[in-house]
Amino acid sequence: MRAVVQRVKSAKVEVDTEITGEIDSGLLVFLGIGKEDDQKDADYLLEKIINLRIFEDDEDKLNLSALDLNKDIMLVSQFTLFGDCRKGRRPSFFEAAPPAEAEKLYDYFVEQAKKSELKIETGQFQAMMDVKLVNDGPVTILVDSKKNF
């Protein structure tokens, strides 16, 4: 399971001009689910994301997490995070989980995230989404449950 975690001042997701999720200051998380991923990967990644110390403390050091500061989190499914561009010019998505399996694990991830005390918003699984955001920093972190990076 892979995530691109961006610290944002705000984020909004629309599907066909309808807002499916909107947050103020917090994290925008693009979440990719691989064919080898399971609930253990989801639990690891969620714990890592909500506890990532990527917000400044009083001394301007990145010492505080979304959980510490009660920040909002926007979760957006994005299978293209498993795009492999090592051969040719068109990405291969062989390592991405099939949609039915990915949706189950994405739903599990969202359910677990909602158990935190944070405001959790989402995009719409397998939809064409307009994602609007205002980066804060910018601070962008890559996280992988298999610890590939």
- Mean pLDDT, the chain, rounded, equals 97
Active site residues: 80
Domain chopping of the chain, boundaries: 2-144
Tokens of 3: 């995530």
Q: How many angstroms separate the most distant Cα atoms in the chain?
A: 48
Chain segment 68-106, per-residue pLDDT in tens: 999 999 999 999 999 999 999 999 999 999 999 999 999
Buried b (16+ CB within 10 A) or exposed e, 129-146: beeebeebeebebebbbe
Beta strands in the chain (DSSP E): 2-15, 18-23, 26-32, 55-56, 62-64, 72-77, 120-122, 130-144
Q: pLDDT tier at 149 (50, 70, 90 boundaries)?
A: confident
Architecture in CATH for domain 2-144: 3-Layer(bba) Sandwich (3.50)
User: For residue 133, which of 25, 17, 18 has the smallest C-alpha distance?
Assistant: 25
Share of the chain above pLDDT 90, in %: 97
Q: How far is Cα of residue 89 from the mean position of the Cα atoms in its chain?
A: 26
pTM above 0.75, yes or no: yes
Chain segment 9-25, per-residue pLDDT in tens: 999 999 999 999 999 99
Chain segment 30-43, per-residue pLDDT in tens: 999 999 999 999 99
Alpha-carbon gap, residue 92 to 88, rounded angstroms:
9
The pLDDT of residue 148: 82
